[in-house]
Structure 1
Amino acid sequence: MQYFEYCFADRLFYDEPNRWAAEHKGYRQATMPVPDGRQTGAKGPWFNYMRTTSPPPKQGWKIHVSATRETAQRVLDITADYCLRQEIPFKFLVSEAAFIGRNLKCADRSGSGKFITIYPASDERLETILTDLDPLLTGLGAPYILSALRWKDGPLYLRYGGFVERLIRNELGEPAMAIETPDGDLVVDRREPVFYVPDWVEPPAFLADHLSDRKRSDPPADFRGESPSATSTRTTS
């Protein structure tokens, strides 16, 4: 999957994704003047807004914001404005080309849907950000992020993971992002298309209902389909 983005520029040959990306517009937050107290920088498909006064924690609960191609700039306008006013570090996919690449049919499902990532400094800030942004973003429409826990019915999701890049070798001997255990050991920060919480992490109390709802197997009330009991009573003639 690490070579996937090099398939975009040409149908027959691998090439730098920048050639294809140049045909798609970038999001305005990647070119606007940098506010005081902030530093910016691009890494791969991501554009970062970090604080100069204090770095974010090395790991914790992060917020992912999803969007559609049509609503992406509007979602970024709302989220970036909020994060800049509240002095919260965040990053976003730098251009429409990067957005498309992350959401194609063959893209890595563990990262699909992730358009913006926000880095709260604490669990208290996490709750505040979710509460503040939810009414501003709900209704804009967005794909589901398989690797994260959905917050209410909007485009906000969250998961526990690393905030800064720390690498170790996984079971295949490949470099992998890492998080730290309470004993100080580095372990792989699992990034799979399924929501996962490390064993030693105690989720904040305000997430209890969301975690409980996620475990339910009952279909939604408006789900169009027949129950197993209905289909099991059918017979053939």
Structure 2
Amino acid sequence: MKFKESSLTDIIAAISAVALVVTMASQTYFYYRLDALWLLSILPPSVFFIEVLRVLALVVILILGAFASEAIYKLIIKLCMKKRKILYKDNADAIKNLLDKKRKSFVRGYAVFSIVLLYFVLVAFQKFGFLITTEVMFWTAFTWGSLLKTVSSKELNNITRRVSLVFILICTTALNAEIKIAYINTAPIVFMKSEKGERNEVKLLDMYQDKVIVFYQNDSKYEFNVLQSDQIEKIVGSSIVN
């Protein structure tokens, strides 16, 4: 079905399906990494909308980064390489072959330059206090490489390119989840109303309406609990407590 022949209902249904896949993939991966898949059953619809926005924001940032790195690479090539004059008359095949070789050389150079640039950008983020874990670096590099391949390759047909874009979207959901996990230990502190001797200080994972998902670290494993809002005494930032 062509896009112009699609009804508004079909378009909305397609967008909704993609959004549902994105949010479910992101949340499932996030809670799987925390070994807390059972929490998925209590999540309200509003959280899925927020996850879509987070993932789409990451995709936009990566795409803009790819265009920016390409512009920088082109500028470097323009400044460093001298122009060559080639006679076009009766030389069309040779010109075509030369352009193909130059394009392949450009794509290889651009890929290497972009990966090196990405590495230095992530290192710079770490220097400025951003939490960049090994997992975040892996998924960023993996998604970045897939994006560069999809954008720069001429061998991909329309169907393969669309499948690649869906794959990139799924990779971005994993990246989004890893970023959330990287910052989990900086979560606000929740003080619960409790009897003497019971644990009354935990960390906040999320809040949905009157439900509060909290956790604490037991050795190397996270333990989770779901509280009602009336069980909470106060919530303060972790930096204030520390």
- Whether TM exceeds 0.5 here: the answer is no
TM-score range with shorter-chain normalisation?
under 0.3
Structure with a larger share of its residues in helix: 2
TM-score with structure 1 setting the length: 0.26
Rg bigger for which structure? 2
